[in-house]
Amino acid sequence: MTVTGRFAPSPSGRIHLGNLFCCLLAWLSARSRGGRMVLRIEDLDTARCPARYVVQMIEDLRWLGLDWDEGPLRGGPCPPYWQSRRTKFYQAALERLTERGLVYPCFCTRAELHAASAPHRTDGQTVYPGTCRHLTPEEAARRALTRAPALRLKVDGAERGFTDGHMGAVRGRLDEDCGDFLLRRSDGMFAYQLAGVVDDAAMGVTEVARGADLLDSTLRQLYLYELLDLPAPSFIHAPLLLDSRGRRLSKRDADAGLEVLRDRMTPEEILGRLAYLAGFHPSAAPAPAKALLGEFQWDKVPRQDIPIPAGLFD
Ligand code: GLU
């Protein structure tokens, strides 16, 4: 079966080395096995994803030589490739879950959630304690008069697991890991978990390769595939890059953003150094994306997060 991988960036800022590292590995993982790539723009949060970032991100990927077969500029059988324009598909999935009696309105405010959600997990994520799960229909209707509810999915206490293609066996229980999770926010915005699952299934994605910050989301997504009776892709999570202070790179690291790097380096220099950090390129020597196809091996990529050595990109 042909592998179909994907890029699913959220254009809430200019692409940075951390995003790019994951994009490179996702591209190499699919392309090195003759696979296809889909580009989907995850711009559900339209206020945070202005069009100029979307345009710039597409341009950055092209500049780097990380190409795609399906998506913006290419078209394909499953348009549109912008999540902000795919609401009707998420609505349909939400209705299927609602018909199964698995969705309920939640009126908790952010402050209430913060105060009530014990235990806080060590990674700072909170577990929804189920406050609104048992509201009577009358009570929910009364509250809906003054406050638009968010919608949550009921989870169970079953132990679930999967084998990540790079990180190995992952097991957990949704009731302990996150509790009943959001499907739609109170302002009507669909949650990333639901949208990503609906789209990856619709777009025929067979391999989700992405950063390890999303490893935690995977059990929720597998639960959604199960409930919606959709074929689940395989998952493969890449380590994240760390800045000079040992923090995971983020959009606040201006120096790691492509707006700075593009002025200083060629695509080949950036890709060669990222491939070197990933462990499969023998030196930091420049290399175009296509030249890395023959060298790429997941086995050589570390499992722990990777510090960027001083001087490699600055
Ligand atoms: N849009 C998400 C992000 O940029 C990635 C989602 C995914 O790969 O599943 O963090």
The answer on 202 and 176 residing in a single domain is no
Choosing from 192, 219, 234 the residue with most ligand 1 atoms within 8 A of its CB, the one to mutate for a pocket test is 192
The answer on 204 and 67 residing in a single domain is yes
- Of ligand 1's listed atoms, the one at least distance from the Cα of 22 is 8
Interatomic CA distance for residues 260 and 104, integer angstroms: 46
Token representation of residue 220: 């929720």
- Of ligand 1's listed atoms, the one at least distance from the Cα of 9 is 4
CA of 42 relative to ligand 1 center, distance in Å: 7
Choosing from 6, 7, 10 the residue with most ligand 1 atoms within 8 A of its CB, the one to mutate for a pocket test is 10
Provide the Cα torsion 238, 241, 242, 244; round to 10°. 160
CA of 213 relative to ligand 1 center, distance in Å: 9
- Sequence-distant (≥ 6) Cβ neighbours of residue 75 within 8 angstroms: none
Collapse the DSSP code of 237 into the 3-class scheme (helix H, G, I; strand E, B; otherwise coil) and give the result: strand
- Of ligand 1's listed atoms, the one at least distance from the Cα of 196 is 9
CA of 283 relative to ligand 1 center, distance in Å: 29
Residue ranges lining ligand 1, Cβ < 6 Å: 8-10, 42, 196, 210, 214
- Bridge pairing between strands 181-184 and 168-173: unpaired
Q: Flag whether 313 is in a domain.
A: no
The tens-digit pLDDT sequence of the chain (314 residues) is 899 999 999 999 888 899 999 999 999 999 999 999 999 999 999 999 998 999 999 999 999 999 999 999 999 999 999 999 999 999 999 999 999 999 999 999 888 887 776 555 555 678 999 999 999 999 999 999 999 999 999 999 999 999 999 999 999 999 999 999 999 999 999 999 999 999 999 999 999 999 999 999 999 999 999 999 999 999 999 999 998 888 988 777 766 788 889 999 999 999 999 999 999 999 999 999 999 999 999 999 999 999 999 999 98
- Sequence-distant (≥ 6) Cβ neighbours of residue 225 within 8 angstroms: 197, 201, 231, 232
pLDDT score for 115: 77
CA of 139 relative to ligand 1 center, distance in Å: 36
Interatomic CA distance for residues 272 and 286, integer angstroms: 4
CA of 136 relative to ligand 1 center, distance in Å: 36
Choosing from 210, 213, 217, 241 the residue with most ligand 1 atoms within 8 A of its CB, the one to mutate for a pocket test is 210
Closest residue by CA, ligand 1 atom 7: 8
Range of the domain at 149: 101-160+169-191
Across-strand partners of 104?
A: 152
The answer on 297 and 200 residing in a single domain is yes
The answer on 202 and 66 residing in a single domain is yes
Query: For the chain, how many structural domains are there in total?
Result: 2
pLDDT score for 13: 87
Interatomic CA distance for residues 83 and 218, integer angstroms: 19
| Orientation angle between helical segments 87-99 and 218-228, nearest 10 degrees | 70
pLDDT score for 210: 98
The answer on 76 and 220 residing in a single domain is yes
We report the CATH number of the domain holding residue 134 as: 3.90.800.10
pLDDT score for 253: 74
**Residue 9: exposed, middle, or buried by beta-carbon count in 10 A (0-12, 13-18, 19+)?**
buried
Q: Flag whether 312 is in a domain.
A: no
| Cβ count near 113 (within 10 Å) | 15
**pTM (2 decimals)?**
0.95
The answer on 109 and 146 residing in a single domain is yes
pLDDT score for 113: 82
CA of 134 relative to ligand 1 center, distance in Å: 32
Find the helix or strand (DSSP H, E) in which 153 lies: strand 150-153
CA of 295 relative to ligand 1 center, distance in Å: 26
The answer on 207 and 65 residing in a single domain is yes
Under 8 Å between Cβ of 187 and 151: no
The answer on 149 and 216 residing in a single domain is no
Q: Flag whether 253 is in a domain.
A: yes
- Of ligand 1's listed atoms, the one at least distance from the Cα of 19 is 4
CA of 18 relative to ligand 1 center, distance in Å: 12
Under 8 Å between Cβ of 133 and 181: no
- Of ligand 1's listed atoms, the one at least distance from the Cα of 42 is 1
Q: Flag whether 95 is in a domain.
A: no
Under 8 Å between Cβ of 28 and 59: no
